[in-house]
Structure 1
Amino acid sequence: MYTSKDVAKLMDIPVSTIRYYEKIGIIPPIERDENGYRIYTNSTLNWIYLMKSLRNAGLSIDSLQEFSRLSKETGEERRKQKQVLTNQLNELDAKIAEMVRVRKLLAYKIETYDEHLAKFQNGELTEKTAEELWKLVL
């Protein structure tokens, strides 16, 4: 069992965020001990970790609430959770592909910087002779 402070440290998020997640229903209600202190189980930790990860990946609070709501459903309605995850994975894959493309462009610009600067300074590189970056296959 973990305390709020333990979980905040473990998940690297403020206690206020954990309480907010509970308040808006994106994690299940947290059990409490006889003194009213929150007690976190492994299941609760999994929910917090999943919600933190999905939020960091760009899922909106509304989408997280929908995902959590679907967890309380049964049958085909419950299976819609998988579609929420699939949609997010597809978005992430597209973002990663774009980031890889931009990374290659940046690496290319860094690798060729001195050469381009020298050409620019000696007049070899002009508006008319500038490379067409958008046509490069990196």
Structure 2
Amino acid sequence: MTIQEAAQRSGLTAHTLRYYERIGLIPSVGRNVSGHRDYAERDLEWLRFLTKLRTTGMPIADMCRYADLSRQGPHTAPERKAMLEQHRERVEARIAELTQDLSVLNHKIDSYGGHA
């Protein structure tokens, strides 16, 4: 699929896709006979995973490290797993913070009672 199709299906912009490729988050994307990027379904699966990492707050540098390890092969699985476990801990801590913040907001809202 073209970069525009990949952008549409992934929810990312073509600019972001080019940026991700430039910094090494996306492995070299195949090219068609015209020399244009030709994204495969596996590229979209990888982009979905990257999007989850990004939306859960993983820094780009960590994402690049993870991508690099992934390209190195299965022998890096323990390090990749450790990275994801550490990230999960950060996400869980952030969820706990947000839960507390939500509780404060709910308490404040409830304090207004019947006021409009």
Would you call these one fold, judging by a TM-score over 0.5? yes
**Higher relative CO (CA 8 A, sep ≥ 6), structure 1 or 2?**
2
Tell me which protein shows more helix as a share of its residues. 2
**Cα offsets for 1:75-95 (capped at 9, x unmatched):** 543321111111111111111
The answer for the alignment partner of 2:26 in structure 1 is 27
How many equivalent residue pairs? 115
The answer for the alignment partner of 1:51 in structure 2 is 50
Scaled by the length of structure 1, the TM-score of the pair is: 0.76
Structure 1: unaligned runs, 5 residues or longer: 118-138
Matches of 2:49 and 2:43, distance apart in 1: 10
The answer for the alignment partner of 1:60 in structure 2 is 59
Name the SS of the counterpart of 1:72 in structure 2.
Answer: helix
| Superposed counterparts of 1:112-127, under 5 Å | 112-114=111-113
Scaled by the length of structure 2, the TM-score of the pair is: 0.89
Structure number with larger C-alpha Rg: 1
Deviation at 1:42, TM superposition (A): 1.4
Query: What is the Cα-based RMSD across aligned positions, in Å?
Result: 1.8
The answer for the alignment partner of 2:17 in structure 1 is 18
Q: Does 1:92 align with 2:86?
A: no
Matches of 1:77 and 1:7, distance apart in 2: 28
Q: Partner letter of residue 22 of structure 2?
A: K
